[in-house]
C-alpha cells in the first residue's frame, strides 16, 4: 500500500483527535473533577466546598466549545472553588435528579447542596470565574451572618436524611409488610437495617433522598421502604437477613431479588427507574379530540409524538389500525422515555398541521414536539417501525433538525368526535324526482 501523503496524515490525525475529544472531554490531567453517581455524594454533597458542576453530553457541540474555558476556569479556581463535570448522557440518573433537560447545564452547589442554583452567566473562562467568586462571596456572607453552617448535608453517621425528612421512606413492620408490599402492584425496594449499624446510618440520607426522587419520577409506582430488622424479626427471619443493611427488590408474584447496586442516591434512583421502566405499561396512544387531550399529554412529557393519519376513506379501518399498531409498538419500545403519544386524522386539526408544516409531506406524517421549547422535528423517513425508530433514536441523542412551532404558540385545537373503529362511509346523496319539471320552459324563462 503506498505511504500516506502529508495531507492524508494530517486529516487522519485530526479525525482521531476529534473522536477522542468527543469520547473523553475531560481527563485526569485536567483540574476538572469527573463526577459519577458513585462519587457525587462523597465529592459534592458531603463537601463544605462551593462546587460548579457542568452536566454535559460528549456529542453536544456547545459542550465541546465550552470545554477549554471550563478547564481554564477550573485551573484558575483550584483550591478556592471546586469545578466538576458529569457526563449526563452516560449518567442519566444524575442529570434527571437535578432536572437537566439540555446541554450544557451548569449548577452551583453552595450552602444548601440539596437545592443547587442554576448558573446563568457567560460561558467564557473569565465569566465563569466571576460567577464562582460572586457565589463564594455570598456563601461566606451567609456563614458570617449565621444563615449557613457549612454543608447542609448530614455527615457520615449523622443519621438524618439530606432533606431533613424521611417522609417518603415507608416504615414497614411485621404487621403491614404483606399488605403493603406483597399484595401491591407497585415495585418495592426495601432496606433491612439495624439502628446501631454504622453503614445503615451512612445509607439513611441517601435512601431518604432517593425515596423522594423516585416517588416523584415514577408517580408512586416504585416505593422505597425500611424495616428495623432488630424489632421485626419475623420478616428478618423470613428473608434470611444476615447483615446490615440488606436491600431487597420485591415485585408482585415474583421471588424477592437482592439489590446489587451502589449505595449513593444516584445509584439507587437509577436502579429504581430501570425497575419502573421494566414494569411500566406502554404509554396510552390517544386521539386528539380536544385541546385538553393535547395539552395534558404534551405538558406532562418532555416530548410529544404526534401522527397525522390518512383520512378513513383513504385507508379503511384495517389500514388505519395497521398505522396505529406501528405507533403502539414504538410507544412500548420507547416507554422508558415517558413521552406522550397522540394521533389525529388528516384534515381534522388543520391549524396543527399548518403549524408543523405537515401538509407538504403527505400522509401518514409524524412530528415530535417539545412544548417547553416550542420546537418540533418531522419524520422524513418511512412511517414504519424502522423509519420511526431511526427518527426517535436521532432525537433521543440530540441529533436531527428542529424548527420553531408556527408562531411560537400551540395552535388552535378543534373538538372532534372519536373514531368509531369502523370503515368510513361517503355521505349519502339525496335522489331528486325531475319528471315534473319542464326544462325547456325554465331555460326560456331564464333567457327572458
More confident of the two residues 224 and 95: 224
Global pTM reads 0.48
Asked if the model's pLDDT at residue 190 lies above 70, the reply is yes
Q: Which residue has the cell 439495624?
A: 194
Mean pLDDT of 114-121: 86
Render pLDDT for 20-57 as a digit per residue (tens, 0 to 9). Answer: 333 468 988 899 999 998 888 888 987 888 999 999 99
Active site residues: 60, 63, 197, 200
Asked if the model's pLDDT at residue 217 lies above 70, the reply is yes
Q: Which three cell numbers stand for residue 186?
A: 407497585
Asked if the model's pLDDT at residue 149 lies above 60, the reply is no
List the single range of 300-309, 316-325, 332-341 with lowest mean pLDDT. 332-341
Share of the chain above pLDDT 70, in %: 85
Mean pLDDT of 131-155: 67
Render pLDDT for 265-316 as a digit per residue (tens, 0 to 9). Answer: 989 998 998 888 777 777 899 999 999 999 988 887 888 999 999 999 999 9
Q: Characterize 245-282 residue by residue with b for buried, 16 or more Cβ atoms within 10 angstroms of its Cβ, and e for exposed.
A: bbbbbbbeeeebeebebbbbbbbbbbbbbebbeeebee
- Looking at residue 428, its pLDDT comes to 65
Crossing angle between the packed helical segments 125-144 and 61-76, to the nearest 10 degrees: 60
Question: Within 10 Å of residue 431's Cβ, how many Cβ atoms?
Answer: 6
Q: Which three cell numbers stand for residue 251?
A: 415485585
Asked if the model's pLDDT at residue 431 lies above 70, the reply is no
Between CA 362 and CA 360 the distance in angstroms is: 6
- Looking at residue 104, its pLDDT comes to 93
Asked if the model's pLDDT at residue 439 lies above 70, the reply is no
Structure letter (DSSP) for residue 170: E
Q: Which three cell numbers stand for residue 213?
A: 426522587
Between CA 358 and CA 352 the distance in angstroms is: 9
Structural domains in the chain plus CATH codes: 33-143 (3.40.30.10), 170-279 (3.40.30.10), 286-404 (3.40.30.10)
| DSSP characters over 206-266 | HHHHHHHHHHHHTTTSEEEEEEETTT-HHHHHHTT--SSSEEEEE-TTS--EE--S-SSHH
Mean pLDDT of 126-137: 90
Asked if the model's pLDDT at residue 155 lies above 60, the reply is no
Between CA 100 and CA 95 the distance in angstroms is: 5
Render pLDDT for 370-415 as a digit per residue (tens, 0 to 9). Answer: 888 888 999 999 999 999 999 998 887 777 788 888 877 889 999 9
pLDDT bracket for residue 121 (50, 70, 90): confident
Question: Within 10 Å of residue 168's Cβ, how many Cβ atoms?
Answer: 20
More confident of the two residues 297 and 436: 297
Q: Which of 222-236, 266-280, 326-340 has the highest mean pLDDT?
A: 222-236
Q: In angstroms, how far is CA 174 from the centroid of its own chain?
A: 37
- Looking at residue 171, its pLDDT comes to 94
| Mean pLDDT of the chain, nearest integer | 84
Q: In angstroms, how far is CA 413 from the centroid of its own chain?
A: 26
pLDDT bracket for residue 9 (50, 70, 90): very low
Mean pLDDT of 325-345: 90
Mean pLDDT of 237-257: 94
- Looking at residue 157, its pLDDT comes to 33
**HSE (side-chain half, CA atoms, 13 Å) at 373:** 14
Between CA 126 and CA 68 the distance in angstroms is: 12
Amino acid at each position: 500500500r503506498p505511504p500516506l501523503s502529508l495531507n492524508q496524515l494530517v486529516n487522519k490525525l485530526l479525525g482521531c483527535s476529534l473522536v477522542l475529544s468527543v469520547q473523553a472531554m475531560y481527563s485526569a490531567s485536567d483540574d476538572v473533577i469527573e463526577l459519577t453517581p458513585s462519587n457525587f455524594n462523597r465529592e459534592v454533597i458531603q463537601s463544605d466546598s462551593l462546587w460548579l458542576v457542568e452536566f454535559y453530553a460528549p456529542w453536544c457541540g456547545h459542550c465541546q466549545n465550552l470545554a477549554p474555558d471550563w478547564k481554564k476556569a477550573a485551573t484558575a479556581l483550584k483550591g478556592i472553588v471546586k469545578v466538576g463535570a458529569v457526563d449526563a448522557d452516560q449518567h442519566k440518573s444524575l442529570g434527571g435528579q437535578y432536572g437537566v433537560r439540555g446541554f450544557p447545564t451548569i449548577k452551583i452547589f453552595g450552602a444548601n447542596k440539596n437545592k443547587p442554583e442554576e448558573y446563568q452567566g457567560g460561558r467564557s473562562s473569565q465569566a465563569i470565574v466571576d460567577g464562582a467568586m460572586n457565589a463564594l462571596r455570598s456563601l461566606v456572607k451567609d456563614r458570617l451572618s449565621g444563615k449557613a453552617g457549612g454543608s447542609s448535608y448530614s455527615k457520615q453517621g449523622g443519621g438524618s436524611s439530606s432533606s431533613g425528612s424521611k417522609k417518603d421512606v415507608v416504615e414497614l413492620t411485621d404487621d403491614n409488610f404483606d399488605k403493603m408490599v406483597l399484595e401491591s402492584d407497585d415495585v418495592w425496594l426495601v432496606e433491612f437495617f439495624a439502628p446501631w449499624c454504622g453503614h445503615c446510618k451512612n445509607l439513611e440520607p441517601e435512601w431518604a433522598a432517593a425515596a423522594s426522587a423516585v416517588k416523584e419520577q415514577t408517580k408512586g409506582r416504585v416505593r422505597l421502604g425500611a424495616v428495623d430488622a432488630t424489632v421485626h424479626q419475623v420478616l428478618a427471619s423470613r428473608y434470611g437477613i444476615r447483615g446490615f443493611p440488606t436491600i431487597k427488590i420485591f415485585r408482585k408474584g415474583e421471588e424477592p431479588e437482592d439489590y446489587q447496586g451502589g449505595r449513593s442516591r444516584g445509584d439507587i434512583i437509577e436502579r429504581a427507574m430501570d425497575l419502573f421502566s421494566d414494569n411500566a405499561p406502554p404509554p396510552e396512544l390517544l386521539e386528539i379530540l380536544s385541546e385538553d387531550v393535547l395539552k395534558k399529554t404534551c405538558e406532562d412529557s418532555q416530548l410529544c409524538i404526534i401522527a397525522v393519519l390518512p383520512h378513513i376513506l383513504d385507508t379503511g379501518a384495517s389500514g388505519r389500525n395497521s398505522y396505529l399498531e406501528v405507533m403502539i409498538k414504538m410507544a412500548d419500545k420507547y416507554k422508558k422515555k415517558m413521552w406522550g403519544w397522540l394521533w389525529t386524522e388528516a384534515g381534522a386539526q388543520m391549524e396543527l398541521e399548518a403549524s408543523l408544516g405537515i401538509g407538504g409531506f403527505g400522509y401518514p406524517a409524524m412530528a415530535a414536539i417539545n412544548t417547553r421549547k416550542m420546537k418540533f422535528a418531522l419524520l422524513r423517513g418511512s412511517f414504519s417501525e424502522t423509519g420511526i425508530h431511526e427518527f426517535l433514536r436521532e432525537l433521543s441523542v440530540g441529533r436531527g433538525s428542529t424548527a420553531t412551532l408556527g408562531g411560537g404558540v400551540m395552535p388552535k385545537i378543534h373538538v372532534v368526535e372519536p373514531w368509531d373503529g369502523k370503515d368510513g362511509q361517503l355521505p349519502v346523496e339525496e335522489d331528486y324526482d325531475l319528471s315534473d319539471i319542464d326544462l325547456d320552459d325554465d331555460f326560456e324563462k331564464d333567457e327572458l
